[in-house]
Amino acid sequence: MKKGYIHIEQLRNIAIEDLEVEIVERKGQGHPDSLIDGASESVSRALCEYYIQNYGTILHHNVDKGLLVGGRSNPKFGGGEVIEPIYVIVAGRATSFVVKEGKVEPIPIGKLTVSAIKNFFKSNMRFLDPEKHIIVDYKIKQGSADLIHIFEKSKGIPLSNDTSIGVGFAPLSPTEKLVLETERFLNSEKIKKEIPELGEDIKVMGLRKNKEISLTIAVATVSSLIPDRSHYINTIEDAKKRVEDFSSKITDMDVKVKVNPADDYEKGVFYLTVTGTSAEAGDDGNTGRGNRLNGLITPLRQCSMEASAGKNPVNHTGKLFNVLAQKTADKIYEEVRGIREVYTRILSCIGNPINRPQIASVALVLEKNTSLSSIRTDIESIIEDQISKVTDLTSLILKGFIQLF
């Protein structure tokens, strides 16, 4: 890549850790927004697998428009039922037929879509039965002729499917790391074995004021495993204590933890669910509305609003460039000394090869004794190297090695 695409600048900003206030959010694996992200991505991967198995290559598709409409349920201590199932619909475009040896060969888009979404829910939600608790729908039509042409035009480096922005930053602040790891901890296999009453729908909101962090955690509980009020209270208290202990291993800052603060025990208000997600009782989800590619919602940071889930992993830069930007930011921070924060912003141009962005811009908050001129060459080399490997990201995404939300 020509260095003319590369832009490097020093920010005079205050580093995130030096701000008086920091706000960070993580929507867990069972949150409605995370579920619909996963549904969209599962369809993309199912299509990729089918295309590769049958035609030796990934054909054009983008299924990044998804909606989860919450159902209705009646959870109660020791039991409960889902009255109205969750409705899930994924929409987009995909190659739905291939002309082979003069014959039109249809591709079973509907079957692939429904199967992929049900399998995703089954593998991520312990108490949600995809045959009983969700209705799966799809509106996936043949792709736009011009975009298919762009997709198929290059036999070498793929051409950008869109003009899109990818943004990444490093490192995570202590608050960001705590929020991310807290949700992962509560949804870990270990905790689910020890406190199976905790559902997968776990949202963590972190607020740091100077050197004090408040974690507000919403945890859907599984009603069939909670026989009474006392058991529920003990479960929530157990979760709270474990997070307090876990937090002390992540940060030295004072951490205050609140779990399910909307509960009102005197009025009989408890966060009970039948399936472990609020999606069963009216909470809805949209693809791209939840976590960014690094797994967090960070309003005080630079970020892209692109939904990475569901976009094709071959030439849709709304997906690839977010991954590329994050990997580049991580690499720069890990390998170049004297950097407090690094932000990577990469902009594609529709129809251009994906290894030729309009700009690859890196903005840095430096340590006091570091000059931009002393590290510029190292950063340029990393940017060039990462962009030259952009086509490698496709297989990494398909193998599940890259977090997307």
Domains identified in the chain and CATH numbers? 3-17+163-172+289-398 (3.30.300.280), 32-153 (3.30.300.10), 182-284 (3.30.300.340)
Q: Output the six-digit token pair for 396.
A: 């990494």
Q: What are phi and psi of 127, to 5 degrees?
A: -115, 10
Beta bridge partners of 86: 134
What is the spatial distance between Cα 73 and Cα 58, in angstroms, rounded to a whole number?
40
Question: Which candidate, 326, 320, 297, 285, places its Cα nearest to that of 393?
Answer: 320
Three-class DSSP category at 94: strand
Backbone angles phi and psi of 137, in degrees to 5: -135, 165
- Tally of CB atoms within 10 A around 211: 10
Task: Report the helix count and the strand count for the chain, using DSSP H and E.
Answer: 9, 17
Does residue 130 have a cis peptide bond before it, meaning omega lies within 30 degrees of 0? no
Q: Which helix (H) or strand (E) holds 396?
A: helix 393-398
Q: Rounded CA gap, 404 and 104, in Å?
A: 35
Identify the DSSP state of 4.
Answer: G
Per residue of the chain (405 residues), what is the pLDDT tens digit? 446 899 999 999 899 999 999 999 999 999 999 999 999 999 999 999 999 999 999 999 999 999 999 999 999 999 999 999 999 999 999 999 988 888 889 999 999 999 999 999 999 999 999 999 999 999 999 865 554 655 665 568 999 999 999 999 999 999 999 999 999 999 999 999 999 999 999 999 999 999 999 999 999 999 999 999 999 999 999 999 999 999 999 999 999 999 999 999 999 999 999 999 999 998 999 999 999 999 999 999 999 999 999 999 999 999 999 999 999 999 999 999 999 999 999 999 999 999 999 999 999 999 999 999 999 999 999 999 999 999 999 999 999 999 999
Beta strands in 77-228 (DSSP E): 79-84, 86-94, 97-100, 103-106, 134-141, 165-170, 198-209, 212-222
